[in-house]
Amino acid sequence: MACGTGRVAIPLAKEGFLVTGIDISDSMLSEARRKSSQAGIVVEWIKADIRDFKLGKRFPLIIFPFNTICHLFDLEDLEACLSCVEGHLRPNGRFIIDVFNPRLDILLRNPEERYIPPYSEYPDPDGRGTIAVTESNVYDTASQINRIKLFYKFPGQAEEIIEELNMRIYFPQELDALLKYNGFEIEAKFGNYDETPFTSAAPKQLIVCHVRGNFG
């Protein structure tokens, strides 16, 4: 099972795995269904809240890819989600979290300035040229919420489109402890997709874990 995105569910399904994907957004689900249909593959897409889902079956693997966990803003949300994950894992099942390793130099940037994100340009789906993206952010240290504004400049359009994205920041030792005290045991923690060890300089926290006492 993959939560929050089709960017993992669809490639897994292409490899022959049976995949269930969940998301709370109708527009994201619609796009995921379109892409899986276009690719000629079958994925079970379900609208569900990762804090409260009941699918009536268990899985050998549950994946939270591409910072999905950052949409759980407080302890109550996270613990509700982890309880759902625990209830949907088979014996010997694994839970994988893919989330970035926070960088203070990015979180504490000047909120009055704009910066160029990694996805700074991409082709207009309507074929009109290139869409340019800049961003700004304000980080609240008390709530650990990073409030991001994304500015989209479309070809031939004078006004920018502005979208807001709020992300809860999970620091390495904090996330390890939250998993431990919610009944999970970490098997491995990598710093990137090539399975290099996690270090301070690693771009990602890739955590492989299982429910304590439910493995082996």
For the segment 71-124, what is each residue's pLDDT rounded down to a tens digit? Answer: 999 999 999 999 999 999 999 999 999 999 999 999 999 999 999 988 889 888
Q: Could you tell me if 33 and 111 lie in one domain?
A: no
Q: State residue 8's pLDDT score.
A: 77
Q: State residue 61's pLDDT score.
A: 95
Q: Could you tell me if 92 and 158 lie in one domain?
A: no
Q: Could you tell me if 150 and 52 lie in one domain?
A: no
By the 8 A CB rule, do 32 and 43 touch?
yes
Q: Could you tell me if 70 and 122 lie in one domain?
A: no
**pTM for this prediction:** 0.89
Q: Could you tell me if 117 and 179 lie in one domain?
A: no
For residue 130, the enclosing domain spans 104-168
Domain count, the chain: 2
Is 88 a domain residue?
yes
Q: State residue 127's pLDDT score.
A: 81
Q: Could you tell me if 93 and 108 lie in one domain?
A: no
Q: State residue 110's pLDDT score.
A: 97
Q: Could you tell me if 206 and 133 lie in one domain?
A: no
Q: Could you tell me if 44 and 61 lie in one domain?
A: yes
Q: Could you tell me if 32 and 124 lie in one domain?
A: no
Q: Could you tell me if 51 and 133 lie in one domain?
A: no
Longest dimension (CA), the chain: 60
Is 75 a domain residue?
yes
State which residues of the chain have pLDDT below 50.
Answer: none
Q: Could you tell me if 93 and 192 lie in one domain?
A: yes
DSSP 8-state symbol, 70 = G
Q: State residue 3's pLDDT score.
A: 58
Distances (CA, A) of 122 to 41, 89, 125, 146, 148: 26, 37, 9, 24, 19
| Residue 55: Cβ within 10 Å count | 15
Is 71 a domain residue?
yes
